[in-house]
């Protein structure tokens, strides 16, 4: 994301969603910068909630 300043009033906004209200099966968008790859966007469907990854010998256990 970027923060820019422009002159004007009453611009439309996009509300930030509540991740606690998210349900399995809903469509989502993810915006990020993984591995310095700029402007990365992906779409998907929530398959589960409250999962965690375990750490095993300094790596991620799969």
Per-residue pLDDT of the chain (62 residues; tens, 9 = 90+): 677 888 999 889 888 888 889 999 999 988 888 888 888 999 999 999 988 877 666 665 55
Residue 18 falls within a domain, yes or no? no
Residue 51 falls within a domain, yes or no? yes
State residue 26's pLDDT score. 95
The closest alpha carbon to 29, from 43, 14, 45, belongs to 43
Residue 16 falls within a domain, yes or no? no
Q: Which domain holds residue 42?
A: 23-60
Residue 9 falls within a domain, yes or no? no
Residue 53 falls within a domain, yes or no? yes
CA distance 30 to 45: 11
Residues β-bridged to residue 29:
43
Residue 45 falls within a domain, yes or no? yes
Model pTM greater than 0.75? no
- Per the structure, the count of domains in the chain is 1
Residue 50 falls within a domain, yes or no? yes
CA distance 2 to 10: 19
CA distances from 60 to 3, 33, 36, 43, 46 (A): 33, 20, 20, 24, 21
State residue 25's pLDDT score. 97
């Amino acid at each position: 994301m970027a923060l820019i300043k422009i002159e004007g009033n009453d611009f439309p906004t996009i509300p930030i969603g509540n991740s606690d209200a998210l349900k399995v099966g809903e469509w989502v968008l993810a915006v990020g910068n993984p591995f310095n790859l700029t402007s990365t966007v992906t779409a998907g469907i929530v398959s589960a909630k409250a999962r965690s990854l375990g750490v095993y010998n300094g790596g991620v256990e799969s």
